[in-house]
Amino acid sequence: MNKYKFSDDFVWGVATSAYQIEGAARADGRGESIWDEFCRIPGKVVNGESGDVACDHYHRLEEDLDLMADLGIKAYRFSIAWPRIQPDGKGAFNEKGLAFYERLVDGLLKRGMQPFATLYHWDLPLTLQQTQQGWESRDTAYRFVEYARKIGRVFGDRVASIATHNEPWCTAWLGNATGYFAPGNESLKKAAHVAHHLLLSHGLALQALRADGVTAPLGIVLNQSPAHGATDSPEDQAAASLEYAKFVRWYMDPLFKGRYPNEALQWYGDNGPQDVIRDGDFDIIGTPMDFLGINYYTRIYASASGPKRPPGEFGFTDMDWEVYPQGLTELLTQLNADYDLPPIFITENGCATKDVLENGQVQDDDRIEFYDRHLAALADAVKQGVDVAGYFAWSLMDNFEWASGYDKRFGMVHVDYATQQRTLKDSALWYRDAIARHALRANTMET
């Protein structure tokens, strides 16, 4: 028996999102999103870049699907751009936008890959932001349900799963507390209100999709990390506990326990969600899910005396995030102990590295090492009883990394943005091999 052999039905996938790869920002009736607008604000995105063209995936769909099939990918996690489907976020649906995702879903199925759809990966139709302050408004949750139901009606019997939201923490916190992401608000209260409406929209959408007879498994995707104090001091330990409550429990507790964590509520004080919570909301939010998606990149390293650099035993990525594979095992076993969970998918995991394309090759050994160690950490969690059904590498290809523009490369496929040429990095070849063998590199295996 080798130590890191995965079960035959383990889902090996790759992930992307619409705004980060599609480009074709004005094609076929697509409406504008808050990210189109945000990218136009000077200073918000590195080099003033945007997703206008990105990887031009919209026009290169067949080529990209072939590439995935050649790698032996079993499942593809993508997001649907709400502004392509419903340009103003309410009212008429856009048949041409739907047709693109029909080609995508059918193209995956034809090639034997499972489509894992996400409804919202941050590209809110701009009209909803301009006319009703986007997710600050409870009504946006109902607009989301309308859009979700349309997707359910068209794709509900063809996709392998539907996730409502990708990383609501990013939408709420980075978009509304720090202003680092669209729409660029800097208000704690707005962030708390937005988070509540995102959770509400998730529960409402699940109920509506089920009532409509959608058979695909339904869930949500959360970005999560374990939190460690920089020292054993009670102050640092308390700081870690608070960060965990704000980052992980703020979403997990409402979804699985019907409340926000007190520790974080106290920290928010008057800026919390209390003004927008209505009777019955937690029952809606807690609607049972068929799966939970977890995106894992690094751990939280907390100190009561301000930011401290973690030790970085395995180094740091090009985002300057600490590589901390064992955090994935810790996170998964902790969640398993704290909540009554449905099956889990690791819906994103990966790293940005400084890749160089030379003689048609990208030697991204650090990325291979990263994937290898994290998959081993995942396997350790499975051994300890956590039900993990699959893993999606972030990302299939280099793409628009939000406020970091095109500077940060997360792909296992290199994209030359001037020519749109795709080149398999060494990590893609390694992944192809891992999928074929259902196992990791020889050096992490116990024979």
Specify the DSSP element, H or E, that contains 357: strand 357-358
The CB-of-82 to ligand IFM minimum distance in angstroms stands at 15
Is 17 near ligand IFM (CB under 6 A)?
A: yes
Distance in Å, CB of 56 to ligand IFM, minimum: 18
Give yes or no: 348 in active site.
yes
Cα distances from 25 to residues 19, 56, 57, 59, 387, in angstroms, run 9, 9, 11, 11, 39
Check binding of 295 to ligand IFM (CB under 6 A).
yes
- What b/e string do you get for 317-340 counting C-beta neighbours within 10 Å, with b at 16 or more? bbeebbbbbbbbbbbbbbbbeeee
Sequence-ordered alpha helix ranges (H) in 161-214: 168-169, 175-176, 188-211
CB of 400 to ligand IFM, least distance (A): 8
Residue that is written with structure tokens 């708390």 in the block: 192
- State how far the Cα of 69 lies from the Cα of 198, in Å rounded to an integer: 34
The answer to whether 167 contacts ligand IFM (rule: CB under 6 A) is yes
401 belongs to the binding site for ligand IFM (CB under 6 A): yes
Count the site residues for ligand IFM by CB under 6 A.
8
User: CA 31, CA 25: separation in Å to the nearest integer?
Assistant: 8
Dist CA 376 CA 325 (whole Å): 8
**Smallest distance, Å, CB 315 to ligand IFM?**
17
Q: For ligand IFM, what does the binding mask look like between residues 296 and 335, x meaning CB under 6 A? A: ----------------------------------------
End-to-end CA distance of the chain: 6
Q: Strand, helix or coil at 162? A: strand
Nearest-approach distance from CB 17 to ligand IFM, in angstroms: 5
d(C-alpha 256, C-alpha 244), whole Å: 16
Among 147, 324, 394, 431, the residue binding ligand IFM under the rule CB under 6 A is 394
Residues 403-432 that bind ligand IFM (CB under 6 A): 410
Strands 11-15 vs 227-229: parallel, antiparallel or unpaired: unpaired
In the chain, the amino acid numbered 308 is K
Site for ligand IFM in 374-393 (CB under 6 A): none
Angle (nearest 5°) at CA 394 between 309 and 435: 120
Give min distance, CB of 146 to ligand IFM, in A: 24
Q: x/- contact string, 344-363, with ligand IFM (CB under 6 A)?
A: ----x---------------
- Residue 20 or 185: the one with the smaller Cβ distance to ligand IFM is 20
Q: Which is nearer to ligand IFM, 181 or 244 (CB)?
A: 181
398 binds ligand IFM (CB under 6 A): no
291 is an interface residue for ligand IFM by CB under 6 A: no
Residues that bind ligand IFM (CB under 6 A): 17, 20, 167, 295, 348, 394, 401, 410
Catalytic sites, residue numbers: 167, 348
